[in-house]
Every structure is written in C-alpha cells, then in structure tokens.
Amino acid sequence: MTPEELTALAVQAEADGQERFPLDDDGDLDPWTTAVWLTARTRTIAIEPPGEIAAASPAMAAKMRESLAELGGDRGPRAIGDDALPASLADVALRPGDPGYAARRSTYMRGGKPALVLRPRTPDEVADALEVARRHRHLPFGLRSGGHGVSGRSTNDGGLILDVGAMNGIEILDERRRLIRVGPGATWKQVAAALDPYGWALGSGDYGGVGVGGLATAGGIGLLGRAYGLTVDHLRAVELVLADGTQVRAGDTEHPDLFWAVRGAGANFGVATAFEFEVDEVHEVGWAQLVLVSPDIERTLRDFGEVARKAPRDTTVFLVTGPPRQGQSVLQMYGIVDSADPDVVVERLTPFAQTGLLAQQQVVLTTYAGAMAGASDVGAEGHQGRGEPVTRSGFLPVLTDAFARDAAALIRSGQVYFFQLRHMGGAIADVAPDAMAFPHRTPEFQVTALGASREGLDRAWDRLAHHFDGLYLSFETDPRPERLHDAFPPPVLERLRTLKRQYDPTGLFRDNFPLIKDEETDR
C-alpha cells in the first residue's frame, strides 16, 4: 500500500464513523511515525500503533505518547492510553470494544461513548482513578453511581467516567440507633430490601432503580418525604475521596463544612465511597397508584394543589402527566400513606382520586421495599439510553391558580412530554434552610418537565419562571449559567464557592452544576 492509499484509508474510516484505526507493523514504515502522520491527517479517529513504541526508554515512549495526545487532541477509544492506568485499575477499566463496555457506555436517559469507564472497588482505587482524571483534565469527566442522573453527565463522548457501581455494600452498623452504611453503587431498591427485615426504611426518590450516590449527594425528594424528610436529612456521615486523592470522613464533628456541602452539592466536592444514614422505623404503608382522566387539566392541577396542601404529613403523592389527547389529560398519581390502617389510607387518598375521573387504581398495604420493588434494577446489561434529556426543574412555593393556568398551557404547548409535581412540605420543612447545602425547605412542590427540544422547552418553561423559587439540580439540564443561582441561592452559593476553592481548587469535579467556572480554577 502506498502512503497515499494508507492515508486515504484512515480518512475514509473516520468518514465512516469508525473510532479506531489499528496499524499493523508491516516491516516497512515505522509504526509510530506513521501513526503520527495519520493522526495529523485526521480529526477524531484514534490511530493505534501496534505494540510498544520503539524508544530509547519508557520515559521517551511516554513523552512521545503525551506529545501526540497534545498535538492530536482527544481521540477515540485510546485517548487514555493503557500506560496511563495504574496497575490497580487494569481489571476495572472498560474501553470501547471491551466486554461489558456496551452495558456501561450509556445511562438511563443518555447515550454516550466514553473513552474509558473506570469501576473502582475501593476508596484507594477511587483515588487512583482520580489521578487518571487529573492527568487527563482536558477530557470530559463524569461520575456515575446508578446511572439515572439527568443533570450530571454520567456519560460523555471520548472522556472518562468514574463509575462507583461496584461499591454497593449495605450493612447495619448499629441496630439500636438504626444506623446503616451504604455504598454509593447500591440502588435504592436494594437498600429498601435490606432494611425491610428490620421494619426500617430510608426515603429515596420515587424509583428503586436509582443509585445511592447521586441522589444522596443532591437531596432525595421522595415518597416518604413529607413523613420523614429528604434522604440527605438522614445522612450522619459520608466518606469521600477528594479531588487530590485524599480520603476524608465528613460528619457533624469531622469536616462539618464539607458535610454541609455534600448534602446538596456533593458532586462538586468528591467521590463518595460510603454513606452512613440513620433510617426510620417504617412498617406497613399504603402504596397507591392511581390513573385519572381529566378534560380540564388546569382545574385538576388546581384541585390537586389544594388537596396536597391539606394532606397530613403522613401522605406524599406525586403527579405525572403528558400532553392531552383529544382534549383529555391522563394523570398518574402515586404515593405513600405512612399508615398500616386501610381506613386511614383510603381517607387520605380519596381527595386525590376526586381531582379527576378515576380510571384505574391500585392501593396495597406493603412496606417501602414493596413500593420500590416494581422498578427494574440496574442489571448486568446496564443502561441503553440514547440521546440527551431536555429537562427543566423548579421549586414551586405555592401552587396558585395562576400557576395551574400557566402549567396547563405548558402541558398543552406540545413542548413537554412529561410533567411532574413532587409533593413536598411536612418533614422536609422541619429542617432549617441553612442546615445543609440543600436550602429549598418550604416549597409545596418540585416541578419537572421533560421536552424534546432544548429551545422549545426553555421558551415554554421560561414563561413560568416567575412562579418558581429555585430548582432541584438533579432534574435540571438547562446549560445557561444563571441556573446555578437557582440551584443555590446567594448565601449558600457563596459558602459553597469558598469551600469549592478549598476542597477542589482545580475544578476537577465540574460535570454537574460546577460551582466555579473553569477559568476561575487553579488549573
């Protein structure tokens, strides 16, 4: 093959969307020189020289690789070379083409093509993985626990993913104090099942397949929220690996600042490797799944708001709807009544069921684990998400008539295919707004909308902006910088920024609502 033909072949492979162009040593052209040449003649494909680079020393070989990485930029699967990995990570690294990569490349909602997924099993391995991330600061870097994250880019193209899924232990630390220790990679369904035999529960979100790490560092607005508070309200200590690889334990008495920050903005501060929660004694509950039809979504929203406001704190009900069909809205209402008494459960749910025409209902007495059990867990097949979620979030202080009107218009706008109200109040509001980095204590609802088009959803949603006070970062994907100020109101943001400069001055953790801009870091 002539050099021109070889170059044309690489260019064509790239045009065909291939990620890798493996070179053979045919005994003629020097493989390294050829690889460099072809890299310079292509843009994204990873030109892979065969075997070791012929060089005077390992240091020279490393220098050559680093130089090409600097010149050629971020390339396909070998953007992070094998030599960049410490031995401890050799068994837990997944690259395109590796068995298991297909299950880890994407998340629940997002398609991705990371160059490298590292799945450390211990805090030491997390520290090693962070060293790799520090050395490849130019690549996108995401953290993943269960892979349900909407706001955090827990997958990416051509970057690095630190996946803590393997750290999924659940143990009882102190039965008397109901103290448990959970790894970030466990799912809430697994946690619920492990606590079930003790008659305990720990409120999470509304879906059991979600991983512990992401939720427990952001908030946790779930179906036990009004009865027992947010997930972060139950956190007593957390073990983290910081950006520089330091392993720390944070709690009320150790690194209390960090402990404050982790409960709401954890993804900015480190990789949590273990959480210690004080859980609640929760026996049987009423678990309700209702389907209602409404010809008048505005009225149903208004009524739902009123019913939810009057509900006792033992009752938490979420509402989901989509675009109306032939003028009829279909609403799912699902929630938990913290009572084993069927009469109480029915009494609590009846007003909700009357906000529209009840089409289906399933109400059972079960445990929290039973309510979580319906979700599919993250299995060996992982996630197969595609695309990029387009979402907005807002905390709604009061569901007013005006909000019901504007929300109905949003739902009818054609820009929203999923609209959710998460019922708050109750125990969530018992905690002071400055107790931790989750300050949104008094809204009636957390509102989420999913759309197909970024521009379309933002335009429709922004019309509702005056109804909201803040947002829940876990459900927000609007990239505009002012969203950070919605997630963290001024005094919280100021304190978080100060702590960020202390604990992550180079801004290594920048994937999910970075507190300081890249240009403000000490890189």
Partner 1 sequence: MTDYGHELLFGTFVTPTAQAVELAVAADRDGLDLVTFQDHPYQPAFLDTWTLMAYAAARTERITLSGNVLNLPLRPPAVLARAVASLDVLSGGRVELGLGAGAFWDAIEAMGGRRLTPAQGVDALAEAIAIIRDVWDVDARERVHHDGEYYQVSGAKRGPRPAHGIGIWVGAYKPRMLALTGALADGWLPSADYLPDGIDSLPALNARIDAAAEQAGRPPSAVRRLLNVGRTSFAPTARGFLNGPPAQWVEQLTDLTRTHGITGVVLATDDPATTARFAAEVAPATREAVRKERA
Residue ranges in contact with partner 1 by CB under 8 A:
3, 27-30, 32-34, 36-41, 54-60, 63-64, 66-68, 70-72
The least CB distance from residue 467 to partner 1, in Å, is 50
From residue 211, how far is each of 136, 286, 378, 382, 471 by CA, in Å? 26, 24, 9, 12, 21
The least CB distance from residue 83 to partner 1, in Å, is 14
What distance in Å separates the CA atoms of residue 214 and residue 54, rounded to the nearest whole number? Answer: 44
What distance in Å separates the CA atoms of residue 394 and residue 73, rounded to the nearest whole number? Answer: 38
Residue (of 167, 172, 266) closest to 220 by Cα position:
266
Q: Sign (positive/negative) of CA torsion 187, 193, 194, 199?
A: positive
The least CB distance from residue 2 to partner 1, in Å, is 9
Strand ordering across the sheet containing 247-251: 170-174, 179-182, 271-278, 235-241, 247-251
> What residue type is 246 in one-letter code?
T
Residue among 56 and 87 whose Cβ is closer to partner 1? 56
Strands (E), 212-322: 235-241, 247-251, 271-278, 280-281, 285-294, 315-321
The least CB distance from residue 72 to partner 1, in Å, is 7
The least CB distance from residue 22 to partner 1, in Å, is 18
The least CB distance from residue 26 to partner 1, in Å, is 10
DSSP 462-521: HTTGGG-----GGG-----TTHHHHHS-HHHHHHHHHHHHHH-TT----SSS-SS-GGGS
What distance in Å separates the CA atoms of residue 315 and residue 286, rounded to the nearest whole number? Answer: 9
Residue among 55 and 365 whose Cβ is closer to partner 1? 55
Strand ordering across the sheet containing 116-118: 93-94, 116-118, 160-163, 141-144
Residue among 38 and 411 whose Cβ is closer to partner 1? 38
Residue among 64 and 357 whose Cβ is closer to partner 1? 64
Whether the Cβ atoms of residue 395 and residue 446 lie closer than 8 Å to each other = yes
The least CB distance from residue 374 to partner 1, in Å, is 54
Whether the Cβ atoms of residue 233 and residue 431 lie closer than 8 Å to each other = yes
The least CB distance from residue 40 to partner 1, in Å, is 3
Rg over CA atoms, the chain: 25
Residues, the chain? 523
Residue among 64 and 363 whose Cβ is closer to partner 1? 64
Residue among 59 and 87 whose Cβ is closer to partner 1? 59
- Rounded to an integer, what is the distance from CA 184 to the centroid of its chain? 12
Whether the Cβ atoms of residue 190 and residue 180 lie closer than 8 Å to each other = no
Tokens of 398: 């009061």
Tokens of 85: 């990995």
Residue among 38 and 94 whose Cβ is closer to partner 1? 38
Residue (of 22, 55, 77) closest to 67 by Cα position:
55
Tokens of 492: 């919280």
DSSP-based three-state secondary structure for 331: strand
Residue among 32 and 228 whose Cβ is closer to partner 1? 32
The least CB distance from residue 21 to partner 1, in Å, is 14
Q: Sign (positive/negative) of CA torsion 210, 217, 455, 396?
A: positive
Residue among 56 and 432 whose Cβ is closer to partner 1? 56
Tokens of 12: 């064509």
Residue among 52 and 455 whose Cβ is closer to partner 1? 52
The least CB distance from residue 75 to partner 1, in Å, is 13
The least CB distance from residue 51 to partner 1, in Å, is 13
Residue among 46 and 408 whose Cβ is closer to partner 1? 46
